Amino acid sequence: MRAPREPFRIKMVEPVRLTTRAEREEALARAGWNLFQVAARDVELDLLTDSGTGAMSQTQWAALMLGDESYAGSQSFERFRETVKDVLGFPFVVPAHQGRGAEGVFFGAVIDPGEIVPSNAHFDTTRAHIEIRGGVALDLPVPEALDPALDAPFKGNMDVERLVELLDGEDGDTVSIVMLTITNNAGGGQPVSLANIREVAAVTRERGKKLVLDIARFAENAWFVREREAGYGKTPLGEIVHEMMADADAVLMSAKKDAIANIGGFVAVGEDEEFFHRLQARGVVSEGFPTYGGLAGRDLEVIAVGLREVLEESYLRYRIQQVAYVGHLLVEAGASVVEPVGGHAVYVDAGATVPHIPAEQFPGWALACSLYLAGGVRGAEIGSVMAGRDPLTGENRHPPLELVRLAVPRRVYTSRQLEQAGDAMAATLADAESLGGFEMVEEAPVLRHFTAKLAPLDKRLTPA
Ligand code: F0G
């Protein structure tokens, strides 16, 4: 597989500081062996997230200058609202400072304690917003989603049978919202098919519930629908997007992903104007006046341009191929990855890649640290460290898969730079047996992965 050609030229450059292995060893030890605590200037290839890390286009930079910073009724808001309506089909929109701001506005208005919110898989912040309001965030992925080696086209789908069981069972009355996250980040960046969206929508609507989509990566999902779903091979991407949105009552968006903005988000709703006014009222309290919602006018301009650019054929083809290319390089280097490669990230199956490290010794964490030491590459563990402890027993939780996510920022790295991820993996696996596990030294009670300090069990690695 060859690297895809970049459909752009580089007009402005940001230097990358090249580091030596000795410098990285020192930086990582100083950071308590936690990549979240490593300074960005000590990272050469930063694949921690694709969120807010994209490069803006010349059109977005130009739009920035059109920002109307009026407190109320700014022209930038008008342009933003028109774009949301045009691209996504929703007439009513509440801007928010980022995706979780939109989640706060939305769930603040709809959730009752004890209410169950089913989804194909909730992202962590969505789950947190449901749980802090006393709700229950329930994941209902299709069974294929749990087999990392299985190559299936729509592993992001929801298990409709289990949804029906829930809705028609004794807890059915507690449900008012059914969610789909497209693409499914927690499940490997896997797409959801249009057929699944329609089926879920029908089941939801028949029972008088609302369907809500988390559309952070809607364009990437649309691309996969066109590539993989029968009958859509020639459908324009914009039409596929409209079909994806057609049955939803509301959408939640983090503009830091598929609006290629560095900040921003929104909630958009269809016909229900009364519901929209309730959301607006919530938004004013936490995000800001309804025509800026925690953002500057210039941010709204950037999002409006990004929502259209992200659906450009040449961009999206390159985007999906570049992520697939990273997956290909990692497999060539000997890693096992979640198949097929997702839209925004490659999820390395650390449990299968370094099987000699038991879950108790955090294999994903060990692999992520090694990629950093070998090549200055920063990824994120999604495994036993991130899973935290059981609140009742205090024991470490071990999820079914120990993963390392390498998320690719949009339009930021050339394919040559991304090859460093493959090289770092090859260097790690050339001597895989010598890679040891980790022990937990210090941790916070919640979201411990951000601040925890760990130590390698191989004491040769700890500077004297
Ligand atoms: N929904 C999904 C599917 C996400 O992936 C994220 C963020 C959010 C909501 C929250 O949006 O960050 O703008 O508040 N995902 C990032 C990631 C952080 O790295 O996957 P936010």
98 ligand 1 Cβ < 6 A: yes
Q: How far is residue 458's CA from residue 463's CA, in Å, rounded to a whole number?
A: 11
> Residues 214, 247, 258, 349: which is the catalytic one?
214
128 ligand 1 Cβ < 6 A: no
Radius of gyration of the chain, Cα coordinates, nearest whole angstrom: 22
| For ligand 1, mutation pick of 35, 48, 51 (most atoms within 8 Å of CB) | 51
Q: How far is residue 352's CA from residue 336's CA, in Å, rounded to a whole number?
A: 6
185 ligand 1 Cβ < 6 A: yes
262 ligand 1 Cβ < 6 A: no
Which residues does 351 contact at the CB level (< 8 Å), separation at least 6?
A: 359, 363, 364, 383, 401, 402
Alpha-helical regions (H) of 177-236: 194-206, 218-228
Element (H, E) at 331: helix 313-332
Pick the CATH number of 21-50+312-461 from 3.90.1150.10, 3.40.50.970, 3.30.56.10, 3.30.9.10: 3.90.1150.10
Largest Cα–Cα distance of the chain, in whole Å?
A: 66
247 is catalytic: no
> How is residue 221 written in tokens?
């999902």
**Tens-level pLDDT at each residue, the chain (464 residues):** 899 999 999 999 999 999 999 999 999 999 999 999 999 999 999 999 999 999 999 999 999 999 999 999 999 999 999 999 999 999 999 999 999 999 999 999 999 999 999 999 999 899 989 999 999 999 999 999 999 999 999 999 999 999 999 999 999 999 999 999 999 988 789 999 999 999 999 999 999 999 999 999 999 999 999 999 999 999 999 999 999 999 999 999 999 999 999 999 999 999 899 999 999 999 999 999 999 999 999 999 999 999 999 999 999 999 999 999 999 999 999 999 999 999 999 999 999 999 999 999 999 999 999 999 999 999 999 999 999 998 789 999 999 899 999 999 999 999 999 999 999 999 999 999 999 999 999 999 888 999 999 999 987 776 65
123 is catalytic: yes
Domain residues of the chain, as ranges?
A: 21-50+312-461, 58-309
Q: How far is residue 135's CA from residue 114's CA, in Å, rounded to a whole number?
A: 5
Say which CATH topology domain 58-309 has: Aspartate Aminotransferase; domain 2 (3.40.640)
232 is catalytic: no
Here the contacts of 270-279 (C-beta below 8 Å, separation 24 or greater) are 270/89, 270/90, 270/91, 270/92, 271/91, 273/92, 275/109, 275/250, 276/92, 276/94, 278/109, 279/94, 279/105, 279/106, 279/109
| For ligand 1, mutation pick of 125, 386, 449 (most atoms within 8 Å of CB) | 125
- Tell me the three state secondary structure of residue 456: strand
Distance 51 CA to ligand 1 centre (A): 7
Task: Give the closest residue to 413 by CA, choosing from 9, 40, 45.
Answer: 45
Give 272: exposed, middle or buried? Use CB within 10 Å, 0-12, 13-18, 19+: middle
> Residues 8, 22, 62, 71: which is the catalytic one?
71
Measured from the CA of 125, which atom of ligand 1 is nearest?
10
Q: Which protein residue has the closest C-alpha to ligand 1 atom 11?
A: 99
Q: Which protein residue has the closest C-alpha to ligand 1 atom 10?
A: 99
Cis peptide, bond prior to residue 183, ω within 30 of zero: yes
Measured from the CA of 344, which atom of ligand 1 is nearest?
20
Task: Give the closest residue to 349 by CA, choosing from 325, 369, 372, 327.
Answer: 327
CB burial string 159-184: b at 16+ within 10 A, e below: bbebbbebbeeebeeebbbbbbbbbb
- Tell me the three state secondary structure of residue 452: coil
Strand ordering across the sheet containing 210-214: 92-96, 265-269, 250-254, 210-214, 177-181
- Tell me the three state secondary structure of residue 123: coil
53 ligand 1 Cβ < 6 A: no
106 ligand 1 Cβ < 6 A: no
> How is residue 139 written in tokens?
């994941």
Distance 387 CA to ligand 1 centre (A): 17
214 is catalytic: yes
Q: Which protein residue has the closest C-alpha to ligand 1 atom 9?
A: 99
Which residues does 212 contact at the CB level (< 8 Å), separation at least 6?
A: 106, 177, 178, 179, 180, 248, 249, 250, 251, 252
Q: How far is residue 164's CA from residue 160's CA, in Å, rounded to a whole number?
A: 6
Q: How far is residue 170's CA from residue 457's CA, in Å, rounded to a whole number?
A: 48
Measured from the CA of 48, which atom of ligand 1 is nearest?
19
Cis peptide, bond prior to residue 191, ω within 30 of zero: no
